[in-house]
Amino acid sequence: MAAPELNKCSVAFLRPSTVDCLAIQLNPTKHLHTRANRPGEKRRLRDWRGVYEETCLTSNMLAWEKIKQSSDHFKQFLEQWKHHEEATVAKLFEILETLDRYDVIDDNKQRILEDIKTAENLLKVKGLSLGEVENRIAGSEQVLTYDDIAMLKKSLGVAKYDVLILHADEDVQFAQRMVQVLEQQNIKVCLKDRDLLVGTLELDAVTSLISERCNKVAVLLTPQFFSSSCNKFYSVLAQCRAITENKRSFLPIVHNNQTNLPTNIGMLTKLSTSNPYFWSKLCMNINENFRESPDNPLPKNIADTSKNTNTPYSLPQLSQPNIINANPPISMKKSSSFQITSPLQDSPPQPQLSAQKEAGSSIKKLFKSFSTDMRNKFTKKGKNGHQLFTNEPEFTGIEELSSSEQIRLMNNAPTPPSQEPSSSGYSSSRKQPDNNAKTKRKGGKEYEVFAN
């Protein structure tokens, strides 16, 4: 029954799914014992207790207490037994035959052979074989990946990784493509489906890898990724580690733009696989000092090559405005030497511009002097509080205007106040003396009093 490969393979290489199948059949209590084929032969229990009694653990009471108190007796039994040299698949099959549990052998033999083949292939990549791996190393609690076995064989400690890639089962092809590209750039990658030791518990192993073994954790975000409760837990654990250590160790990668991201990931900076510079950005996020390998250049995205054309990009030519007949604004200063000319000929002379400027300047001076004189004339008030003119308004600065402009300005001058006497008997302005009026002097000033 025991093939040569079974004698070399430790029970530590059994996958967790295979161990679960064995535990389902061996954990239930069997009340019927095995038959005694010979006189004086001991009758054995046909469940996990019978398997335990056929191993060297019977002398270890501490191991017995751990197994008995565990909720999964057979799984805990393998955890305690796999450290010993006798813990091989061949020895397990021999014990099951002794217990008359051929049903367990028949149901799980094919699955166990597949586990052995997988372990042999993975060890071959590391330059090892099943026969070279001792049970003390394969069953060590430090061993999580096949790289750990190779490192411990050389007494170099456990393996460290640059990045751990987490993905859904449906995205395994793209994940393998990522591993291939990154490892060509001398980046050490851990892929749990490839590197995780067959016999380790996935939840405990991945938790340890995220917390202690990997510098970065890259998460391939797709709708299928969030359908797994384990993947949700791993992503949250990686974020917690990044926050605790204050490092950018969590790398979310959006592989499907239609993915509905949770709030704790949606607010983070993400890298999209549709980015034309995805590979270079991924490598630089993993290793800040990344330099592209000259022997293995990064793959080029299709979007990059489609933009390469023989015609260089040039700015669009804008039409020049027609400025030959453009008139400059009137508010342009005299002192400005700027002239708008055509590229071929000078602009035509504009004699009216200087005349308009001179007229505008003279009018400003005129109104400024007129307003000053008017403020000086309103100096006295009558008894009733009304303002009085002491003199007639005078126009200064009018000599600077031409005769036609002086006449136009005088025609538009405001009408002086009426010269008729007010009802109070006092005149509001000076006028020619009247024969019937009497003059009185008061306070050094003369006043005309009209007789009734």
The confidence score (pLDDT) of residue 341 equals 42
d(CA 20, CA 155): 32
The confidence score (pLDDT) of residue 203 equals 86
DSSP state of 324: S
Q: Which residues neighbour 440 within 8 Å (Cβ) at sequence distance 6 or greater?
A: 446, 447, 449
Taking the chain, what is the end-to-end CA distance rounded to the nearest angstrom? 158
> How far apart, in Å, are the Cα atoms of 376 and each of 362, 365, 389?
22, 17, 10
The confidence score (pLDDT) of residue 356 equals 53
CB 78 within 8 A of CB 11: yes
**Closest to 249 measured CA to CA, from 206, 216, 281:** 216
- Architecture of the structural domain at 160-300: 3-Layer(aba) Sandwich (3.40)
Answer yes or no: pTM beyond 0.75. no
- Tens of each residue's pLDDT in the chain, 452 residues: 445 566 678 888 888 889 989 999 999 988 777 766 666 567 788 899 999 999 988 888 888 999 999 999 998 999 889 888 888 999 999 999 999 999 999 999 999 999 888 888 888 888 888 877 887 888 788 888 888 988 888 888 889 999 999 999 899 999 999 999 999 999 999 998 888 887 777 888 899 999 999 999 999 999 899 888 999 999 999 999 999 999 999 999 998 777 788 888 888 888 988 888 899 999 999 998 888 888 888 887 633 333 333 333 233 343 444 444 445 444 444 444 444 444 444 444 444 445 555 555 666 666 566 556 555 555 444 445 555 444 444 445 555 556 666 666 666 655 555 555 544 444 444 445 555 555 555 555 555 555 44
d(CA 220, CA 218): 7
The confidence score (pLDDT) of residue 17 equals 84
